[in-house]
Amino acid sequence: MIIKRRELLQLLSVAGGALFIPGIDWDHIEASLTRPSHIDITVVNDLETINNRSWSLFTHVMRNEIEANKRRSGEEFSMENRSLCVILRGC
């Protein structure tokens, strides 16, 4: 599969943004994932924070992509864009 430069940069920015979350104890998460008996409320809260941040970044990137597609296609929504709008709760 050929990835366009813009898509690669977006992917890297999302991945990098997801990893840079202050206050996350990555060592504790790693230990808990390898030994489930170490899972505690701190790990659950950290994983929740990571999940929320990831969805936030995904939503931001997809909204930008939808806007770019609208400009390219002359304001017509494809079925794919309509589905994404439903997922993202309205565009």
Task: Return the pLDDT at 48.
Answer: 92
- What is the arithmetic mean of pLDDT over 78-89? 62
pLDDT digits (tens, 9 = 90+) for 24-63: 888 998 899 889 888 999 999 999 998 888 888 777 777 7
Task: Return the pLDDT at 1.
Answer: 46
Domains of the chain, by residue range, sit at 5-87
* Residue 80 binned pLDDT confidence (cut-offs 50, 70, 90): low
Longest dimension (CA), the chain: 55
- Going from the C-alpha of 55 to that of each of 32, 50, 84, the distances in angstroms are 22, 9, 13
Task: Return the pLDDT at 46.
Answer: 92
